[in-house]
Amino acid sequence: MSILVVGSVAFDTLKTPYGERKKILGGAATYFSLSASYFAKVRVVGVVGDDFTPEHEAVLTRRGIDIRGLEHASGKTFHWGGEYGENLSEAKTHFTDLNVFENFTPKIPTAYDDSRFLFLANIQPELQLDVRRKMPRVALVGGDTMNLWINIKRSELLETLKEVDILLINDGEAKLLASEHSLVLAARKILTMGPKSLVIKHGEYGATIFFNDGSHPFRAPALPIAEVHDPTGAGDTFAGGFMGYLASQPEITPAVLKQAMFYGGVMGSFTVERFGPERLMSLTREEIDERFNFFRTLTHLD
Amino acid sequence: MSILVVGSVAFDTLKTPYGERKKILGGAATYFSLSASYFAKVRVVGVVGDDFTPEHEAVLTRRGIDIRGLEHASGKTFHWGGEYGENLSEAKTHFTDLNVFENFTPKIPTAYDDSRFLFLANIQPELQLDVRRKMPRVALVGGDTMNLWINIKRSELLETLKEVDILLINDGEAKLLASEHSLVLAARKILTMGPKSLVIKHGEYGATIFFNDGSHPFRAPALPIAEVHDPTGAGDTFAGGFMGYLASQPEITPAVLKQAMFYGGVMGSFTVERFGPERLMSLTREEIDERFNFFRTLTHLD
């Protein structure tokens, strides 16, 4: 079953303690779709510029990702620049050049109308809302955002959140969005803004899903990793594994949601092994299942 | 089976976003022994001053804790003062008045000679080593320390660590001790300093146990809590639940160690509900088991 994702398809220029890369393939929708492609059919809505080459496209199409909704516009591809210090949990953004995303009006190919799920990956909240309104019949809307939009487009974001069923953000974003110091209090507040469930990702410490219907929260682990080379896209990758797994199941039950939390962490653990989305380009189902079993061993009592 | 604990029995003066307390009962050995008392027989070695009253003693004896090894000396009881900001993970120490602990030479009552386990709770490393050497026949030595000793008594601490089988410290302490930014690299280094296993506690994100024999690490959760009133003693409480559970089992197997990781988190989750060690004074086995089951539901796939 299929997922439509809208979000940045971009270039990243980044620096971590393990090295630097200039204008490598990146973007929230890129990481999301590569990750989800191991579980479900993924369709991308976005826009790239003249500097986006056939080689870049092939990275997506080789994974069976449907990029008919990825427009080509005159101008430059979205370009993000950032840096990670020794504390790899937070990127310091140097620049976010929206470029062709600045004046982008998403057009949904008719072929995408029957998408079962929608994921509003990280991009301006108005764009997210626009796509959501163009896809009224999806069964589930997932979403992500970042501190930039929480800070500079809060009211637009709050409008968008009313239409999101499940929001996936990190600790810092949750506390910023809710103006709370406590994760649990932040979750309670965010669960009144629209989302029925909320996944808060704690970087190297895993992730927690909270529900607004009184169900107990659930915590999934992250893998203890000696050297994270590049944490870029780990969160988007988590979302892709999470939503992708959900899309692969006939019904979304509590058991399925818990498995999805594990698969999100599993996929995230691959992304951070190398720079950019490289590791996601050539995983096998076997590697994913092996990692999933390791995650179970990591957390389950005998 | 019994555990001997040496560590501070003290007064704490503290401030959290939820209030202030002056000279309330505290200390690493206090929290440890109260916690462990729900699982095993606990014996305390330490020293208190003239300001330590029968009411304070009763808190320990009511839980069946053997305090024949708790000396009374002329002078003031150990007194720690600190504060927690909105970020409750790290206490800012205002003062650490060793007082009667300054010139304390531990004497082990003969009745304690048959203690099965030894826990070197947080106190000067030379005192920890002294007690360890006076208890050569214990089956297992656990230990804890804090940033203060890592910074000002590093060489004494390194001597002590050679005699510790299992060390329980938090993220910041692990990275400081190992001079590493990565938790996993820190763990690897610490596992060459003496300990065969290392528990690193991540505060609200749970804890991870690492082994130096090639066994896989294991991660236990912490409880998502809306309002942590006072995090003081949570780590010592974890250690008490962990060691206490180990002491209650006939053999220390991998399965038992994993359960112990859960019980550590379970006990810690009670401590932080109220100021000081209050919550630990009157728990029931039922409450502990119920919380344990919740921890399982929190993390286990169906």
A87/chain B closest Cα distance in angstroms: 7
Residue from the list B202, B225, B258 with its beta carbon closest to the beta carbon of A302: B258
C-alpha B167, offset from chain centre:
10
Question: Which of A88, A205, A291 best probes binding to B when mutated, by most B CB atoms within 10 angstroms?
Answer: A205
- Whether the predicted pLDDT of B233 surpasses 80: yes
Pairing between strand A207-211 and A197-201? antiparallel
Write out pLDDT tens, residues A6-37: 999 999 999 998 999 999 999 999 999 999 99
E-strand ranges in B49-202 read: 70-72, 78-83, 92-97, 117-120, 140-143, 166-170, 197-201
Average pLDDT, chain A: 96
Q: What is the mean pLDDT of residues A38-52?
A: 98
Question: Residue A259: how many CA atoms within 13 Å on its side-chain side?
Answer: 17
Q: How does residue B90 score in pLDDT terms, banded at 50, 70 and 90?
A: confident
**A216 contacts on B by Cβ (under 8 Å):** 294, 297-298
B27-47: average pLDDT: 97
Q: Residue A4's pLDDT is what? A: 98
Give per-residue pLDDT as tens, A241-279: 999 999 999 999 999 999 999 999 999 999 999 999 999
Which residue type is seen at A77? T
pLDDT in tens, B251-292: 999 999 999 999 999 999 999 999 999 999 999 999 999 999
**Residues 6 or more apart whose Cβ sits within 8 Å of residue A72:** A47, A48, A49, A50, A52
Whole-number Å distance between alpha carbons of A246 and A257: 7
The minimum CA-CA distance between A89 and chain B, rounded to whole Å, is 11
What was the pLDDT predicted at A30?
98
Helix (H) or strand (E) holding A186: helix A183-190
Nearest to A299 among B202, B254, B299 (CB): B299
Instruction: Give the residue-averaged pLDDT of B15-26.
Output: 94
Q: What is the mean pLDDT of residues A149-164?
A: 97
Q: What confidence tier does B172 reach under pLDDT thresholds 50, 70, 90? A: very high
* Residue of B12, B144, B171, B236 with catalytic role: B236
Going by pLDDT thresholds of 50, 70 and 90, the confidence category of residue B85 is: confident
A213 assigned to active site: no
- The answer for residues whose C-beta is within 8 angstroms of residue A276's C-beta and 6 or more apart is A12, A21, A24, A25, A26, A230, A232, A233
Amino acid at B102: E
Contacts of the segment B93-97: beta carbons below 8 A, 24+ positions apart: B93/B148, B94/B13, B96/B148
Q: B224–A219: do the CB atoms touch at under 8 Å?
A: yes
Q: What is the pTM of this model?
A: 0.95
Q: Which long-range contacts (CB under 8 A, 24 or more apart) does A95-98 make?
A: A96/A148, A98/A124
Residue position matching structure tokens 């601490």: B157
CB-based contact A188 B226, cutoff 8 Å:
yes
Judge contact between B14 and B277, C-beta under 8 A: no
For residue B193, the distance in angstroms to the closest alpha carbon of chain A comes to 18
Domains of chain B: 2-299 (3.40.1190.20)
Backbone phi, psi, residue B33, to 5°? -70, -40
pLDDT at B113 (0 to 100): 95
- Predicted confidence at residue B86, as pLDDT, reads 80
- Residue B253 phi/psi, 5° resolution? -105, 170
